[in-house]
Amino acid sequence: MFVCPENDDQKSAVSCTTNPKSILLTGKAGIGKSLFCRKLVRDWSHNRLFEEGQENAKVPDFQFALLLTFRQLVLPEKKMLDLRDILSQSSLLNEHSVIDEPILQYMIENPEKLLIILDGYDEYKQRKKITGDFETRYSNDPHQKIPVPALIAKIMKGEMLNGAVVLISSRPEEAEELKKIVFDVRCDIQGLSSLQVLEYIEKYFKENESMKNKVLDHIKTNEILLSFGHIPVMCFLMCYSIKWYMTESNTTEKLPGTRTELYHEVIKVFIKKHSSSKYEEMEETKVQEILHKLAEIAMNLMMEDKYIFNENDMKKFNLNDEEIRNLKASGLLDCCPGVKKSPFEKPPLEFTFTHLTIREFLCAFLFVEEKQIPEKKKTSDVTYMFMAGMCSREKDEKLMEKLLENIKPGNENDKRNKLLTLCCLYEYKDDGFSTRVINNLKHIYC
Distance CA 148, CA 73 (A): 8
- Measured CA angle at 275 (ends 312, 260), to 5 deg: 90
Is the pLDDT reported for residue 251 higher than 90? no
Distance CA 356, CA 124 (A): 12
Q: Which of 85-94, 154-163, 247-256, 352-361 has the weakest average pLDDT?
A: 247-256
pLDDT of residue 11: 45
Q: Which residues, in sequence order, are CB contacts of 203 under 8 Å at separation 6+?
A: none
Distance CA 371, CA 397 (A): 11
pLDDT bin (cut points 50, 70, 90) of residue 349 is confident
Q: DSSP labels for 144-181?
A: S-EEHHHHHHHHHTTSSSBTBEEEEEE-HHHHGGGGGS
Given a contact cutoff of 8 angstroms between Cβ atoms, the answer to whether 82 and 138 are in contact is no
| pLDDT, mean of residues 182-187 | 91
Is the pLDDT reported for residue 3 higher than 70? no
Torsion of CA 188, 194, 195, 201, to 10 degrees: 100
Phi, psi of 80 (to 5 degrees): -100, 120
Q: For residue range 137-151, what is the model confidence (pLDDT) as tens digits?
A: 999 999 999 999 999
Q: At what angle do helices 284-303 and 356-369 cross, to 10 degrees?
A: 100
Given a contact cutoff of 8 angstroms between Cβ atoms, the answer to whether 190 and 2 are in contact is yes
Q: At what angle do helices 232-249 and 194-204 cross, to 10 degrees?
A: 40
| pLDDT, mean of residues 293-297 | 89
Q: What is the mean pLDDT of the chain?
A: 85
Residue 169 pairs with which residues in a beta bridge? 25
Hey, is 353 helix, strand or coil?
A: strand
pLDDT of residue 8: 47
What's the residue count for the chain?
446
pLDDT bin (cut points 50, 70, 90) of residue 412 is confident
Is the pLDDT reported for residue 52 higher than 90? no
Q: Which long-range contacts (CB under 8 A, 24 or more apart) does 76-81 make?
A: 76/148, 76/339, 77/126, 77/147, 77/148, 77/149, 78/147, 79/147, 79/148, 80/145, 80/146, 80/147, 81/145, 81/146, 81/147, 81/148, 81/151
Instruction: Give the whole-number percent of the chain exceeding pLDDT 70.
Output: 86
Given a contact cutoff of 8 angstroms between Cβ atoms, the answer to whether 216 and 229 are in contact is no
DSSP percent split of the chain into helix, strand, coil, nearest 5: 55, 10, 35
Q: How far apart are the first and last CA of the chain?
A: 33
Hey, is 25 helix, strand or coil?
A: strand
Residue 309 pairs with which residues in a beta bridge? 351
| pLDDT, mean of residues 355-363 | 92
Q: For residue range 16-34, what is the model confidence (pLDDT) as tens digits?
A: 456 899 999 999 888 889 9
Q: For residue range 260-287, what is the model confidence (pLDDT) as tens digits?
A: 998 998 888 877 765 544 445 667 787 8
| pLDDT, mean of residues 211-239 | 87
Hey, is 258 helix, strand or coil?
A: coil
pLDDT bin (cut points 50, 70, 90) of residue 303 is confident
Given a contact cutoff of 8 angstroms between Cβ atoms, the answer to whether 22 and 158 are in contact is yes
Given a contact cutoff of 8 angstroms between Cβ atoms, the answer to whether 111 and 62 are in contact is no
Amino acid at 82: D
In this prediction the pTM is 0.74
Given a contact cutoff of 8 angstroms between Cβ atoms, the answer to whether 30 and 228 are in contact is no
Query: Mind listing the domains of the chain with CATH numbers?
Result: 18-189 (3.40.50.300), 194-357 (no CATH), 371-444 (no CATH)
Distance CA 445, CA 413 (A): 9
pLDDT of residue 257: 79
Q: Which residues, in sequence order, are CB contacts of 392 under 8 Å at separation 6+?
A: 258, 260, 400, 427, 428, 429, 430
Instruction: Say how far residue 116 (Cα) sits from the centre of its chain.
Output: 19
Q: At what angle do helices 415-428 and 397-406 cross, to 10 degrees?
A: 170
